[in-house]
Structure 1
Amino acid sequence: MTNDNIPSYTLTFEDAVQIWLRYWAGEFQNRIAASLDVNPGRVNEVLKERKFIGSREAALKERAA
């Protein structure tokens, strides 16, 4: 039995902040995506700032704290 009908996780703004932090720490996009159960394209949308605008700035603030 497969789980093809179960949708993957939907990212939140806080997930996007964590994506930035993990990416800056050297983690690969596909590994981040796998850990969040999302398509790697969703992670790339965050890093290209097509989704969750402002998450990069929030991550910078969190990293500086």
Structure 2
Amino acid sequence: MHQQSYRLTEKDAIEIWLRYWGGEFQHHIAASYGVNPGRVNEVIKRKRLVGSETIALSMRRDH
């Protein structure tokens, strides 16, 4: 039986941006969500969950 893959949410994508900007490797971020590193790369390359970068940037400025 095929196990359903985890689908990244906007909240996940925001956290991905923050972790990526903090210097964490994409494959480490992907492993923590149990997804293929390509899914994290799609967020970083602005192919998925596009608005998440703007939200993450505003959160980063607030801290």
The TM-score bracket by the shorter chain reads over 0.9
Give the Å deviation of 1:7.
2.2
RMSD of Structure 2 on Structure 1 (CA):
1.1
Where structure 2 has 5 or more consecutive residues not aligned to the other structure, the ranges are none
- How many pairs does the alignment contain? 62
Matched with 2:26 is: 29
Does the alignment pair 1:9 with 2:6?
Answer: yes
- TM-score w.r.t. the length of structure 2 is 0.92
Amino acid at match of 1:57: T
Where structure 1 has 5 or more consecutive residues not aligned to the other structure, the ranges are none
1:32-60 CA-to-partner distances (Å, cap 9, x unmatched) read 00000111000000000000011111000
